[in-house]
Amino acid sequence: MSRAIPRLVVAGTASGVGKTTATVAIARALRARGLQVALFKCGPDYLDPTYHARAVAGTSHNLDGWMMGREAVLSTFAAETASADVALIEGVMGLFDGASPTGEEGSTAEIAKWLEAPVALVIDASGMARSVAALVQGFAGFDPALRIAAVVCNQVGSRGHLDILRQAQAQVNRSLPVLGGLPRDEAQRFPERHLGLRTADEAALPEERLDHWGAQAEAWIGLDALLEIARAAPPLPAAGAAATPGAATAGAQRGRARIGLAFDEAFHFYYADNLRRLEAAGAELVRFSPIGDARLPDVDALYLGGGYPEVHAERLAANAALRGEIRAFAGRGGPIYAECGGLMYLTEAIRTLDGRAHPMVGLVPAEAAMCEKLQALGYVEVETQARTILGGAGLRFRGHQFRYSELRPSQRAVQVEPSAAPAPAEQPPSPSAQAPLPIEHAYSVRRRRGGQVSREGYRTASVLASYVHAHWASNPLVPEGLVASAAAHRKERAR
């Protein structure tokens, strides 16, 4: 059985050409017309989806060919468009950029092909006239299996400039039109930080700015023509039910465990699909704030995602009560899983670029030091080398790294081999400043590009922390293992 869902991939010629602005503007305008818009982001990105969510007051889901695989991409898309009138999929980097310089794996083009979706190509047209036609023709002819159906010009100088761009493209290929653009507007551009865009909270992105871009899209872009292109996309075959867990699965297992989810200004990098998989495995997710809460909620495990702990290091350090609560939770054998920013929070201190060391939880015997230059970037594949709170040795899953910090082990760190490490159920040693703390590298991490292998995944008893942002569509056993560890701890607590 197949299902028709109008859809359009909003791709770019490169990073920084305005894909997010165009996607948000078009989505906001379509929502103002009364349409239900489902939004997606290609690639490993936590920030752009926050702009999507604000634009339509809903959740944006990542679609990543390398981390998720085809079936999970298709089933996620099907599940999240069930009640939508139209779907917009924002690309990553340039249209053909991905995990390899010689193939389409992990690229926007790969996702567009899997979804059989037409592409609207966003270009930065500042300082450009007839050259727009040469640029578009190159992209349109690069892969005949991909349908680029429209062009949207960003950074347009005036209505006259847009007319020149339209005429130049029409002379070469009238079947691939420039369907409008967005004017240059420095006062209304989205704010940025070292990872790219800032998170789209109310302070960074007021509603008035979203309305502004929606109005610009309505005035400058041929939305009716874009909708016609989206509605011409062919029906998609029904996705396999097993690839993405749904509400029925979650209902059957609900109540196995409660997992505390760190969520505030410092921690908010989570894939929506990962959270849904935890819920499908029977977890109730309970949010708490490491910045603002003095007590942990009544939970059976903790999940500390990525974010900007370095930006909020002073506030995190000031909340000694919550840091003590987390140490006590670990001391009782409570499972704690942390990624990137969460790992930094679990160290003894975060050293910011000004040289100041801010005390943190102290469960990982190291200091997280911020650096001026990027320390790691790219896809990785993980294999566990010992039993952890995620499951037995030999688990494989995929993720990515993007970080500006490095770990500097402290004097109390005692490196142990996986075979000699304590079982996850055992109590961790005291996290006092004087006591030695055994730590195990529970992960073997292989980089997708280059193939270099390193040891990572810092485990001390029931704590597992890593710089890897994992996507659990690559191995659904991982979220099941975390929920099972939380459920086991719940039973221990009840004794």
CA–CA separation, 452 and 447 (whole Å)? 5
399 φ/ψ angles, rounded to the nearest 5 degrees: -165, -160
Q: Which residues pair with 57 in a beta bridge?
A: none
Cα–Cα distance for residue pair 362/494, rounded to 1 Å: 27
Contacts of residue 494, Cβ cutoff 8 Å, sequence gap at least 6:
none
| 254-260-262 Cα angle (round to 5) | 135
Best CA proximity match to 270, nearest among 399, 108, 116:
399
Torsion of CA 341, 345, 350, 354, to 10 degrees: 60
Interhelix angle 272-280/477-494, nearest 10 degrees: 50
Strands (E), 134-233: 148-156, 178-183, 192-193, 196-197
- The Cα–Cα gap between 147 and 115 comes to 12
How open is the CA angle 11-16-19, to the nearest 5 degrees?
A: 35
CA–CA gap between residue 199 and residue 336 (Å, rounded): 25
Count CA atoms closer than 13 A to 344's CA, side-chain side: 30
Specify the amino acid at residue 160: G
Beta bridge partners of 259: 285, 301
Two tokens, residue 361: 């939880």
Residue 335 has phi, psi (to 5 degrees) of -65, 135
The angle formed by the CA atoms of residues 112, 118 and 121, to the nearest 5 degrees, is 90
Q: How far is residue 401's CA from residue 448's CA, in Å, rounded to a whole number?
A: 11
Please give the sequence-ordered ranges of beta strands (E in DSSP) within 192-335, or none if there are none.
192-193, 196-197, 236-237, 257-262, 267-269, 283-288, 301-304, 306-307
**Annotated catalytic sites, by residue?**
340
Shortest CA distance to 157 belongs to which of 226, 224, 220, 94? 220
Task: Report residue 376 as tokens.
Answer: 């790691």
